[in-house]
Chain A
Amino acid sequence: MLTDIATVARKELTEILFPDGGLRGSARNVIVLLGIAGVWFPLQAGTAWFTSWTTVGSACFPLLLVLNYTIDAFAGERERHTLETLLASRLDGRSILLGKTLAIVLYGWGLVVSALPIGLVAVNIADRGRGFLLFRPAIAVSILVLGLLVALLLCTIGVLVSLAAPTVRIAGQRMLVPVFAIFSLPFSVPYVLRKLRWEYAVARLDPALIVALIAAGCLVLTSIVLTIGLRRFDRERLVLA
């Protein structure tokens, strides 16, 4: 099964990275996103980029780009009439589902990781004279771990939505709700905490603990969504949809 997952992931990554046979097609989007996440955001934050816990959230911004690919995972194959031929191969459903998810997760997480050294260089150039500054280790680890887990969560949700949607457009519309819910959390959670009068208690918590709780939440949600996706992968339903 691992070989099959790798086979599917490899092909998906080839299509993501080289959509027109070369890098030009994907490079434009990547450059814009890395410019925002790796240069613009860090320069706005200045040296606080390396020490503030809000960097952990901002660093996940490149994951927005993966949404396109998640909703395309199955709905796109359906529209391009390649899905039935793929289902007529020996691959089992888990390999197809996990392979597609893995490819998009690697791409998204790759963007998050790539933005880090760019931001490191950008801020150090802008704020010369203090020596070469680095990320606080806890911040760097949090970005890497949370970036991976948020990518995993977004991708599993997107692929599940794509599995059930007849077209990419409908998958995109259906994906708006979970995406909006996730990206509104930084605004809605403080509001809820204020209403429950828990804001002071939470503010006293170690930020690393908060990140760990968020990471655990992502893992639990991902497991649930993945389980649903694997159960819903039904060859007959996909062929006849």
Chain B
Amino acid sequence: MMHSTAIHTEKLTRDFGTLRALDRLTLEVPPGIVFGFLGPNGSGKTTTIRLLLGLITPTSGTARVLGFDVAREPEAVRLRTGALLEHTGLYERLSAEQNLEYYGRIALMSDGGRKARIRELLERADLWDRRDEAVGRWSRGMKQKLAVARALLHHPSLIFLDEPTAGLDPVAASAFRQDLVRLAQHDGVTVFLTTHNLAEAEKLCGQVAVVHQGRLLAVGRPDDVRRQVERAPTATFEDAFLHLVQQSAPA
């Protein structure tokens, strides 16, 4: 079922002691796009994903993911979303197939449906022939592909990807980006992606949000964000991003 917004946050705030990691984030993510959540290290990107998955609770404010309140219905959110977090989360002593079997059972997929879906995803990722190998022996790129397959296993309508191309070589990263575009355009999956690879975000994302020190600085299409900066028309997206971040820094 397609919701009018995939994610809606209203003044979402999270403090850790005296540190405000996220400051009144108000955001709407439409369904069926690749949405880039950009910011330097420590800007609140991972905290935002954790809040949206219901892994941590907000200090104040609200968030709804696919229509469910993350504080009151976190299980409903996690049932309908997939996630590739900072680490792949793969069990390296298990094979690719065993990893997917485990998460397929967690998602309460039927035996037949699970096996067919595992085959489909592994074939699509060119990993079917290596499905019986212990994942620990694989390259980082292969593990990332498997982790994305795991996130998509139960046909979620929204997936969270936390810096998914970090550590990938250019060829693997490019192939990964093509897969993400296909996901959004052909499968209608909303992809919420955090990255600080600005070139990647500009190519990949239908919309972006820029955060720094927990505050939302800009949101919109990459071109719109670039034009928000009153610079020469040749200002790049990276220029715009740096300008926004520098402007928001305390004097």
Contacts and interface: CB of A to CB of B under 8 A. Distances in A.
Contacts of A18: 93
A15 B87 contact: no
A82 interface: yes
B204 interface: no
Interface stretch (B30-38, B48-56, B191-199): B48-56
Given A7-B102, A81-B87, A88 B53 contact: yes
Contacts of B92: 80
B236 interface: no
B22 to A, nearest CB: 14
A14 B87 contact: no
A89 B83 CA distance: 8
B78 A90 contact: yes
B134 A3 contact: no
Interface in B81-119: 83, 85-95, 98, 102-103, 105-108
A82 B78 contact: no
A10 B83 CA distance: 23
Contacts of A86: 89
Most buried by B among A10, A89, A239: A89
Interface residues of A, number: 27
A91 B106 contact: yes
A203 B140 CA distance: 64
A199 interface: no
Contacts of A82: 87, 89-91
Most buried by B among A19, A90, A91: A90
B79 interface: yes
B5 interface: no
Given A15-B91, A20-B93, A91-B106, A236 B78 contact: no
Contacts of B89: 81-82, 84-86, 88
Interface in A1-55: 3-4, 7, 10-11, 14-15, 18-21
Contacts of A205: none
Given A80-B91, A81-B86, 18 more contacts: A3-B108, A7-B102, A11-B91, A14-B94, A15-B91, A15-B94, A19-B93, A80-B92, A81-B88, A84-B89, A85-B83, A85-B89, A87-B55, A91-B106, A92-B75, A235-B54, A236-B57, A239-B56
A236 B16 CA distance: 12
A68 B224 CA distance: 56
A15 B93 contact: yes
Interface string B42-80: 000000001001111100000000000000000100110
Interface of A: 3-4, 7, 10-11, 14-15, 18-21, 80-82, 84-92, 235-236, 239-240
A236 B102 CA distance: 23
Interface residues of B, number: 30
Contacts of B95: 21
- The B contact surface, by secondary structure, is loop
Contact of B106 (A7, A15, A84): A7
Contacts of A85: 83, 85, 87-89
A7 B56 CA distance: 25
A84 B75 contact: no
A10 B106 CA distance: 11
A88 B160 CA distance: 10
A228 to B, nearest CB: 22
Contacts of B98: 11, 14
A4 B108 CA distance: 9
B247 to A, nearest CB: 31
A18 B103 CA distance: 19
A235 B74 CA distance: 11
B75 A88 contact: no
A88 B78 contact: yes
A106 B233 CA distance: 68
Contacts of A236: 55-57
B131 to A, nearest CB: 12
A82 B99 CA distance: 11
Contacts of A11: 91, 94, 98, 102
A80 B79 CA distance: 24
Contact of B83 (A19, A81, A88, A91): A88
